[in-house]
Amino acid sequence: MRTTTTLITAGALAALALYWSLARGEPPAPPLPKQDPDLFAFVRSMEGTRPDGNVTVATDDALVIDAELGHLFDYYLAGLGEKPLAAIRSQIELELDRRLAPAPARQAKRLLGAYLAYKQALAGIEQKLPPSADALQAARARLQAKRTLRATYFTAQESAGLFGPEDARDDDTVARMTVLADATLDEAQRQRKLAALDAALPPAQRLARDAPQQVSALDAAVRDLRAHGGGDNEVYRLRAATFSPEAAARLGELDREETQWQQRITAWRAQKAALGVGVQDPVQVQRVTDTLFSPDEQRRLGAYE
**Half-sphere exposure of 79 toward its Cβ, with a 13 Å CA cutoff?**
25
**Half-sphere exposure of 63 toward its Cβ, with a 13 Å CA cutoff?**
27
Helices (H), 154-186: 156-181
Distances from the Cα of 14 to the Cα of 21, 211, 242, 270, angstroms: 11, 12, 16, 29
More confident: 111 or 59 = 111
Residue 64 to residue 250: CA distance in whole angstroms: 31
Nearest to 56 by CA among 204, 161, 157, 151: 161
Is 248 a residue whose pLDDT tops 60?
Answer: yes
Residue 211 to residue 14: CA distance in whole angstroms: 12
16-25, 70-79, 267-276: which has the minimum mean pLDDT? Answer: 16-25
Tens-place pLDDT, residues 125-146: 998 988 888 899 999 999 999 9
Tens-place pLDDT, residues 191-207: 999 999 988 888 878 87
pLDDT band with cut points at 50, 70 and 90 for residue 277: low
Contact 209, 226 (CB under 8 A): no
Residue-wise DSSP of 60-129: TSPBP-SHHHHHHHHHHHTTBTTB-HHHHHHHHHHHHHHHS-HHHHHHHHHHHHHHHHHHHHHHHHHHHS
Mean pLDDT of 226-250: 86
Mean pLDDT of 270-278: 82
Given this model, what pLDDT does residue 48 score?
A: 58
Nearest to 111 by CA among 83, 125, 92: 92
Rounded to the nearest integer, the mean pLDDT of the chain is: 83
Given this model, what pLDDT does residue 27 score?
A: 43
Given this model, what pLDDT does residue 43 score?
A: 65
Given this model, what pLDDT does residue 279 score?
A: 67
34-38, 44-48, 120-124, 183-187: which has the minimum mean pLDDT? Answer: 34-38
Tens-place pLDDT, residues 10-55: 444 444 444 444 444 444 444 434 334 344 456 666 665 677 888 9
Going from N- to C-terminal start, the domains of the chain cover 45-202
Mean pLDDT of 263-279: 85
Residue 17 to residue 124: CA distance in whole angstroms: 34
Give the number of other CB atoms < 10 A from CB of residue 36. Answer: 10
Residue 123 to residue 106: CA distance in whole angstroms: 26
Given this model, what pLDDT does residue 23 score?
A: 44
Residue 279 to residue 287: CA distance in whole angstroms: 16
Exposure string for 46-74, b = 16+ CB within 10 A, e = fewer: beeeebbbebebeeeeebebbbbbbbbbb
Given this model, what pLDDT does residue 240 score?
A: 86
Model pTM? 0.59
Given this model, what pLDDT does residue 207 score?
A: 75
User: What count of residues does the chain have?
Assistant: 305
Given this model, what pLDDT does residue 130 score?
A: 87
What 8-state DSSP symbol labels residue 45? G
